[in-house]
Amino acid sequence: MRAELAARGITNEDAATCYNAGVTASIKFYDIHAKEANVEGYAPVTDAEIAAYLAKPDIAYNPAKGLDQIASQAYINFYKNPNEAWALYKRTGLPNASTVLPLPVLTSDGAVNPIPRRAPLGLLDQTSPNAENRKAAYDQMATDPGFGQDPNDAFGRVWWDKP
């Protein structure tokens, strides 16, 4: 997040420094967990290997494609937290088919399957003691033009997801 804020000019930090620190922290985080899991044949990551990774052409921070690189590395970091990866994608549109980390276009029977924008909110249970409040909340959300067809529309938008 700090690298993204710096790359967008929101903070005065150096985006490259934040990016390198974030990627390094992510690699070390997964390295610790791999060691603790006693994965057979696992060789711990060295600082030299991290430095070599950060020096690769598509990985070395380049301000011209900085947001692309930052989002791609964050997406990789969220491997074990897919809800965060989904939120990152929804918030930034990155990664996508043309980024450093190409996200494949999902298809089924030749048709493109768009990535859902939100989780379905679920049907109202009229027997719930909170049914009236929940219906009022759904009705209020439905006044937003981007809400979608109904509470179960996975392609409707949440309050912060604006075009």
Tally the C-alpha atoms within 13 A of residue 48's C-alpha that lie toward its C-beta: 0
CA–CA dist 59, 82 (Å, integer): 22
Task: Answer yes or no: are the C-beta atoms of 141 and 109 closer than 8 Å.
Answer: no
Here the tokens at position 70 are 């930052």
Write out pLDDT tens, residues 129-144.
Answer: 999 999 999 999 899 8
Domains of the chain (ranges; CATH) run 2-108 (1.20.120.840), 117-163 (no CATH)
The residue count for the chain: 163
DSSP state of 126: T
pLDDT score at 27: 98
| Angstrom distances, CA of residue 33 to CA of 22, 37, 51, 60, 152 | 17, 6, 20, 25, 37
Residue 162 in this model has a pLDDT that exceeds 80: no
Beta strands in the chain (DSSP E): 107-108, 111-112
Write out pLDDT tens, residues 45-101.
Answer: 999 999 999 999 999 999 999 999 999 999 999 988 998 998 898 889 899 889 999
